[in-house]
Structure 1
Amino acid sequence: MKYLVVVGNDVDRRAGKYLADYLRCPIIDAKLPFDYSVIERPIGVGGTPTTNGKVGWSGYIKTVIEGSNRYTTAQNVLNFINGGCK
Structure 2
Amino acid sequence: MKMTLEDLLAGVPAQDGNGGQLLSPSVSASKARRAEPVTPIDKTTAIAKLVLQDEAQARANKTAQLKAAREQRDAGRKG
Q: TM-score range by the shorter chain?
A: under 0.3
Task: Output the TM-score relative to the length of structure 1.
Answer: 0.19
- The structure that is strand-richer by fraction is 1
Higher alpha-carbon Rg: 2
